[in-house]
Amino acid sequence: MKKNKISKNWLIKQKKDSFFIQSKIYGYRSRSAFKLIEMNKKFKFLKKNSSLLDLGSSPGGWSQVARKEIIKGKILALDIKFMEKIGNVDFIQGDFSEKEIYKKIFSYFNNKIDVVLSDMAANTTGSKMIDSYRTGELCLNAMKLAKEILNPDGVFLSKIFMGSVYEEINEKAKKYFKKIVKYKPLSSKKESKEIYIFCKGILKI
């Protein structure tokens, strides 16, 4: 199928998608916002004083949801792509795995934090295997960062794709965290291999 036709079909599907429609009604920048709303209903981890890092934040749906729930805590959003300003959310543009950006994150909070979110996804290549591998690598690196920056009872919530790195992510998560739950929100498209891993409480090694 030609690229134009694929994007036209994608647009038609999107317009029929109830979460896409709701995101427009409620003023969310992405339909992904509903995934975080749903996961917070289930796990109840966004508290009014939480400090939170949102990795892969653009266009900003998750940061909007976090800001609604977190009234006093600091929120830092980060993405390679630019993100339009959200009130009381600070933003760093850059690749989170670069040393300089890593340092900026730590000096921004200057303390341990409560929540690390990662909805990061690597750019699609056309190969589902490569995409799931690269997104899995992002999750593994985000998990490493989370382990360093989180409070002892902190929460790490990340997108993963069922695929080659899945087992490795599972094993690492078991080493790092006390509680691990895998969850697919209703708002995550059925045809997508995406699921989320919710981890809570750092294990002392």
Ligand X SMILES: C[S@@+](CC[C@H](N)C(=O)[O-])C[C@H]1O[C@@H](n2cnc3c(N)ncnc32)[C@H](O)[C@@H]1O
Q: Give the integer Cα–Cα distance in Å for 193 and 189.
A: 8
Q: What is the radius of gyration, based on Cα positions, of the chain?
A: 17
Q: Of residues 61, 136, 154, 185, which one binds ligand X by CB under 6 A?
A: 61
Q: In the bound complex, what is the minimum distance in angstroms from residue 205's beta carbon to ligand X?
A: 25
Give the count of residues interacting with ligand X (CB under 6 A).
24
Q: Which of 140/180 has CB closer to ligand X?
A: 140
Provide the mask over 107-126, with x wherever binding to ligand X is found by CB under 6 A and - wherever it is not: ------------xxxx----
With beta carbons less than 8 A apart as the criterion, state whether 179 and 154 touch.
Answer: no
With beta carbons less than 8 A apart as the criterion, state whether 76 and 63 touch.
Answer: no
Query: Of 8-16, 89-97, 147-155, 181-189, which part binds ligand X (CB under 6 A)?
Result: 89-97
Q: Of residues 19, 23, 30, 188, which one binds ligand X by CB under 6 A?
A: 30
Binding site for ligand X (CB under 6 A): 29-30, 32-33, 55-62, 78-81, 95-97, 119-122, 138
